[in-house]
Amino acid sequence: MPHPDGRLSHDFDPSDRPPQDACGVFGVWVPPGEAEAAEVSKLTYYGLYALQHRGQESAGIAVSDGARIVVYKDMGLVAQVFDEPVLNTMRGHVAVGHCRYSTTGSPTWENAQPTLRSTDTGNLALAHNGNLINTPELAARLDPATLVGSSDTEVLTALLATREGGPLAAAAEILPVTRGAFSLVFMDEGTLYAARDPEGIRPLVLGRLERGWVVASETAGLDIVGAQFVREVEPGELLAIDADGVRSQRFAEPRPKGCLFEYVYLARPDTTISGRSVHATRVEVGRLLAREHPVEADLVIPTPESGTPAAIGYAEASGIPYGQGLVKNSYVGRTFIQPSQSIRQLGIRLKLNPLREAIEGKRLVVVDDSIVRGNTQRAIVRMLREAGAAEVHVRISSPPVAWPCFYGIDFATRAELIAGNLSVDEIRASIGADTLGFVSLDHLIQATRIAKDSLCRACFDGVYPIPVDEAARGKHVLEGTRS
């Protein structure tokens, strides 16, 4: 729930936060006669729980009983927003859910999703993962006074709602002129819809319940509700799911450019993307990293938990023993408690603490998934040295992140990215490591088993698959034009 004085949840030190994805989306449809037994609101709750890593600012669920749509949403984690009494009041046979991290529009209640709009045929509720890059152009088609929030999702929902002929016809008209990354789940009173941008930048999958269908950002969202994976929603595809089954149509020709960073950090390790296990990919990256950047050391340790699979691969390929050197406090994350400056100076110790007996006197290889600003790695290296490490060799299972993302990851501007301004050796000196090695872009791509031309690599090489208009850049692009 919102803090009484209006403040929003945040990390202990915003400058240390890892890269964030835009959101997680989930949708479910069951036959109306099965609604009571299926409890679609609870299925959606669990689906969002599995996708919580994709967004921790707000959460929401929309449910329809065939006659009306009810939306419940608020600021906070899924488990903070919903409880059993709330879910028990949300009855119906079709639902969509959303957990948000803001990449367009401020983290406010007005920008929480799903968004809800009335249409000429009823109502429309929509949840979006991604980031549109022609939001000002789309917003120009609308009366600004009709926009409640300041997100690209609000604009897209309003456009879909103002078109005649129902959501399917509206989507077929609007989506072809919508540019950027969008994996959508939306609904009217009786039908579940899903759509994915022509580049397929963000993941979206279709699953089958014993009686019904599920759409989710990741396969982990299917697993938690017992849905069987059917296939990925194809780039440029629009689905409608109702009593007639799953109907598919194309609104654009596919131009696959799946996000490479999903494999590095964003997706859960137990998720599968394009037929490839994310965990297996990360372990393989670790093996390649060991061959690319060998070093004499006594112990390989991960930065938990995101560095763990690559650290396993690095230890396996190098022959250096794998061990635990840092303990993560699983209960530290986002909080409504405002840290004082003295507490903030504790920094990374709020989340990680060293195992002194395991690392004292040892030459360590520390494996992490990425370096964005360098603050976290700098604190970890200092902490390990204070705990008695003889040497600290940092290995990163992604290439240097040197370019911002405009397709749904809240990376900093290029000026704030440490690799956008410093060489590898300068970064090494900045974080205080004895040596520093990044996996090469070619090796990272090799581990995914996906063709280079079918991946978006923009944060690593600056090659943007969808050209970005300078005027459309910025998290608060709509807010800057409104009084």
Sequential pLDDT tens for the chain (483 residues): 332 222 222 233 334 445 555 689 999 999 998 888 789 999 999 999 999 999 988 999 999 999 999 999 999 999 999 999 999 999 999 999 999 876 555 567 778 899 999 998 899 999 999 999 999 999 999 887 777 776 889 999 999 999 988 999 999 999 999 999 999 999 999 999 999 999 999 999 999 999 999 999 999 999 999 999 999 999 999 999 999 999 999 999 999 999 999 999 999 999 999 999 999 999 999 999 999 999 999 999 999 989 999 999 999 999 999 999 999 887 665 444 545 655 555 667 778 999 999 999 999 999 999 999 898 899 999 999 999 999 999 999 999 999 999 998 877 688 889 999 999 999 999 999 999 999 999 999 999 999 999 999 999 999 999 998 754 455 444 544 443
Report pLDDT for 471: 46
In contact, 303 and 371? CB cutoff 8 Å: no
Report pLDDT for 103: 56
- Residue 456 maps to a domain: no
Find the CATH number of the domain harbouring 184.
3.60.20.10
- Residue 462 maps to a domain: no
In this structure, the answer to whether residues 285 and 251 fall within a common structural domain is: no
For the record, the structure tokens of 353 come out as: 């603490």
In this structure, the answer to whether residues 329 and 212 fall within a common structural domain is: no
Residue of 113, 124, 251 whose CA lies nearest to 192: 124
User: What is the distance between the alpha carbons of residues 276 and 280, in angstroms, rounded to a whole number?
Assistant: 7
Find the CATH number of the domain harbouring 398.
3.40.50.2020
- Residue 24 maps to a domain: yes
In this structure, the answer to whether residues 227 and 289 fall within a common structural domain is: no
Overall pTM > 0.85: yes
In contact, 43 and 225? CB cutoff 8 Å: yes
- Residue 170 maps to a domain: yes
CB proximity list for 69: less than 8 A, separation 6 or greater: 62, 63, 116, 122, 123, 125, 187, 188, 189
Report pLDDT for 332: 61
Give one DSSP letter per residue of 211-276, joined into a string: TEEEEESSHHHHHTTTPEEEEEPPTTEEEEEETTEEEEEESS-----EETHIIIIIS-TT-EETTE
Q: Look up the domain containing 444 and give its range.
A: 278-448
Q: Which residues are annotated as a binding site?
A: 259, 306, 368-369, 405, 456, 459
Report pLDDT for 12: 30
In this structure, the answer to whether residues 204 and 134 fall within a common structural domain is: yes
Vertex 90, ends 85 and 91: CA angle to 5°? 120
In this structure, the answer to whether residues 113 and 185 fall within a common structural domain is: yes
In contact, 362 and 390? CB cutoff 8 Å: yes
- Residue 192 maps to a domain: yes
23 is a catalytic site residue: yes
Report pLDDT for 15: 41
- Residue 204 maps to a domain: yes
In this structure, the answer to whether residues 288 and 249 fall within a common structural domain is: no
In this structure, the answer to whether residues 241 and 195 fall within a common structural domain is: yes
User: What is the distance between the alpha carbons of residues 26 and 51, in angstroms, rounded to a whole number?
Assistant: 9
In this structure, the answer to whether residues 66 and 165 fall within a common structural domain is: yes
In this structure, the answer to whether residues 189 and 337 fall within a common structural domain is: no
Among residues 23, 206, 317, 477, the one annotated as catalytic is 23
User: What is the distance between the alpha carbons of residues 325 and 368, in angstroms, rounded to a whole number?
Assistant: 13
For the record, the structure tokens of 302 come out as: 């991960």
In this structure, the answer to whether residues 130 and 210 fall within a common structural domain is: yes
For the record, the structure tokens of 376 come out as: 């976290």
User: What is the distance between the alpha carbons of residues 243 and 82, in angstroms, rounded to a whole number?
Assistant: 29
- Residue 464 maps to a domain: no
- Residue 330 maps to a domain: yes
Report pLDDT for 18: 53
In this structure, the answer to whether residues 244 and 307 fall within a common structural domain is: no
State how many domains the chain has: 2
Q: Across the chain, which distance is largest between two alpha carbons, in Å?
A: 71
Report pLDDT for 191: 97
